[in-house]
Amino acid sequence: MTPGARRLALTALALGALACSNGRTAPVDARASGASAQPAPAAESGAALEGGSAAPGAGGPTAALPPNEMGVIPVLEYHIIQDKVFDEFERPPARFAQDLEDLYRRGYRPVNMSEVLDGKIQSLPKGVSPVVFTFDDAAPSQFAYVGSPASVDPKSAIGMWLEFQKRHPDWGSRAVFCMLPAASAGHAFFGDKGIAGQQTAWRLIKVKWLADHGFELCDHTLWHARLDKYPDTFVQEQLARGQMAIDSAVPGYKVHSMALPLGMWPKNKPLAWQGSWTNPKTGQTISYHFDAVFEVSGNPNVNPHLPGFDPHRVHRQIMSGNALEATLNRLDKPGPGSRYISDGDPKTVAKPAAVAQAAPAGAAKP
């Protein structure tokens, strides 16, 4: 395990209580921004990928490169949004805001991982590139209220996302939140017990709000258990109960993905994406089946159209320092490692010859 991963195991949950800054920025009015308990209507310019609000659409900057729907799709990984940085798991709010600006300026628009796997990214407007945001550990700094659910903390990730959408309506409500329902230090569905000013009663409200607005909900176990340390029965209980907790907020929700805590696989790897657990008290059996498994780090992923793509080994890149800029610069270079760019026609797949014949170096393999 890397030094950063060891540090996460010891400190990430404890730092969650400190994640929300007490800055002077005015709260985002959830009602004015469309952040009510009911989903807001999609922007008129949005290309409807799936249910929810503000799907990615046309109208903003696009890539100054030819279409390439066999290209690479970056998957970004965030944890705590706060000014004080200890290691790669904290991202200052100003840097997160700049990440949004940089991606938008280069023609990227956010999509859910389920939409990548389902092929719905084929309906993106011409010149647009998909990017998958993932947020791990359900820190209050990712989604916080100020005083009540009517006011989203403007320095939380969701608060900044909503403000960005006001300026850029074609920036969709699409990101994957890999959540912990029962972790300590406030990492229980984005804060509880007054930690960082967040009330326990708000937890399920936040989870439902995310689903109603088109964001994807992801299982990250019950309390961030290292799955490599435990027997099969325990692994399945952690994932089944994590799914149950999501269902308690959004009944009937289909959980498409899970993220490995610390990137550690269970001894029986297939249990990371499929298994079941029987509640000894009720006798009820809960089964889970995830289409995608997120690892902690790695190169950008092979395109799903290519045989090298493995949805059960989705690489992500931790957003630390200048990692995003370096990645985007690399993906702008021509060749088999270049980025996915839509041709605007959902019935065709743009296949540049050089790209269709080779997968990116270092990409995930089955």
In tens, the pLDDT along 153-209 reads 999 999 999 999 999 999 999 999 999 999 888 889 999 899 999 999 999 999 999
φ/ψ of 79, rounded to 5, equals -125, -80
Using pLDDT thresholds of 50, 70 and 90, give the confidence band for residue 47. very low
The one-letter amino acid at 255:
V
Is 137 within 8 Å of 77 (Cβ atoms)? no
Using pLDDT thresholds of 50, 70 and 90, give the confidence band for residue 8. very low
Q: For residue 258, what pLDDT is reported?
A: 98
Write down the pTM of the prediction. 0.83
Please return the burial class of 229, using the count of CB atoms within 10 Å of its CB with bins 0-12, 13-18 and 19+: exposed
Distances (CA, A) of 271 to 61, 228, 240, 300, 364: 42, 11, 11, 24, 20
DSSP 134-191: EEETT-TTTS-EESEEEEE-TTSHHHHHHHHHHH-TTS-S--EEEE-SS-STTTTTT-
In tens, the pLDDT along 258-282 reads 999 999 999 999 999 999 999 999 9
Number of separate domains in the chain: 1
CATH code of the domain containing 100: 3.20.20.370
Residue 363 lies in a domain: no
Please say if the pLDDT value at position 117 is more than 50.
yes
In tens, the pLDDT along 330-361 reads 999 988 889 999 999 999 999 886 544 444 43
Q: Is 203 helix (H, G, I), strand (E, B) or coil?
A: helix
Q: What percent of the chain has pLDDT over 70?
A: 80
90: closest CA among 320, 334, 331?
A: 320
Q: Give the bridge partners for 28, in sequence order.
A: 152
Least confident among 33-42, 112-121, 332-341: 33-42
Residue 17 lies in a domain: no
Residue 227 lies in a domain: yes
Task: Output 63 or 23, whichever has higher pLDDT.
Answer: 63
Residue 22 lies in a domain: no
Residue 314 lies in a domain: yes
Task: Kindly state the average pLDDT of the residues 53-68.
Answer: 73
User: What angle, rounded to 10 degrees, do the helices at 232-249 and 203-212 form?
Assistant: 80
162: closest CA among 32, 52, 51, 42?
A: 32
Residue 3 lies in a domain: no
Q: How far apart are the first and last CA of the chain?
A: 22
Please say if the pLDDT value at position 20 is more than 50.
no
The chain-wide mean pLDDT, for the chain, equals 84
Q: In the numeric block, which tokens belong to residue 45? A: 């310019």
φ/ψ of 274, rounded to 5, equals -155, 135
Residue 118 lies in a domain: yes
Q: For residue 300, what pLDDT is reported?
A: 81
Core vs surface per residue 75-111: b (16+ CB within 10 A) or e: bbbbbbbbeeeebbbbbebebbbebbeebbebbbbbb
Q: For residue 259, what pLDDT is reported?
A: 98
Domain carrying residue 111: 27-356
Q: For residue 181, what pLDDT is reported?
A: 96
Task: Kindly state the average pLDDT of the residues 223-228.
Answer: 96
Residue 20 lies in a domain: no
Q: For residue 176, what pLDDT is reported?
A: 98
Please say if the pLDDT value at position 57 is more than 70.
no
Q: For residue 351, what pLDDT is reported?
A: 86
Geometric angle at alpha carbon 320, from 316 and 321, rounded to 5°: 140
Question: What is the Cα–Cα distance from 214 to 236, expressed in whole angstroms?
Answer: 27
